[in-house]
């Protein structure tokens, strides 16, 4: 018999919502860039697409683990914060070429902060 006496705390709930929002914008950002003319910034654009896809996957998985109160949540969310920061840095560099990258970077920074807060609260 399972006892579900544990519910997501406010840090976890905030983090879960930030991860879902970040996964959505990263997927949108990457999808919107696929097939775009890269020109002189093609290498940066390709890196941005890959990091957005990685970030979306990490955020989605983090949200799934939090929603089931997994004991691995703290570990994954620390990694998720790092991926979000990497994605934000590249999106910030690419934002002059792709407007959605600016919004994506903001959401990634917000998610990274929420993940760090949540992981610290769990430690």
Query: Tens digits of per-residue pLDDT, 27-50?
Result: 999 999 998 887 888 999 999 999
Residue at 2 is within a domain: no
Report the distance separating Cα 63 and Cα 15, nearest Å.
8
Mean pLDDT, the chain, integer: 92
Domain count, the chain: 1
- Structural domain of residue 66, as residue ranges? 10-32+42-122
Q: Report the CATH number that the domain containing residue 55 is assigned in CATH.
A: 1.20.1270.360
DSSP H helices, 68-122, are 73-94, 99-122
Neighbour-count burial of 43, counting CB atoms closer than 10 A to its CB (0-12 exposed, 13-18 middle, 19+ buried): exposed
Q: Is the dihedral of CA 38, 44, 47, 52 positive or negative?
A: negative
Residue 37 lies in a domain: no
pLDDT for the residue 36: 85
pTM over 0.85: yes
pLDDT value at position 39?
83
């Amino acid at each position: 018999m399972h006892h579900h006496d544990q519910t997501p705390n406010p840090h976890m709930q905030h983090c879960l919502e930030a991860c879902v929002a970040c996964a959505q914008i990263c997927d949108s950002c990457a999808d919107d860039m696929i097939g775009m003319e890269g020109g002189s910034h093609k290498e940066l654009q390709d890196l941005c697409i890959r990091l957005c896809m990685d970030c979306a996957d990490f955020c989605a998985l983090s949200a799934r683990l939090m929603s089931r109160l997994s004991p691995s949540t703290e570990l994954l969310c620390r990694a998720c914060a790092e991926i979000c920061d990497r994605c934000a840095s590249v999106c910030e560099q690419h934002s002059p070429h792709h407007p959605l990258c600016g919004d994506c970077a903001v959401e990634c920074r917000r998610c990274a902060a929420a993940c760090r807060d949540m992981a610290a609260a769990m430690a």
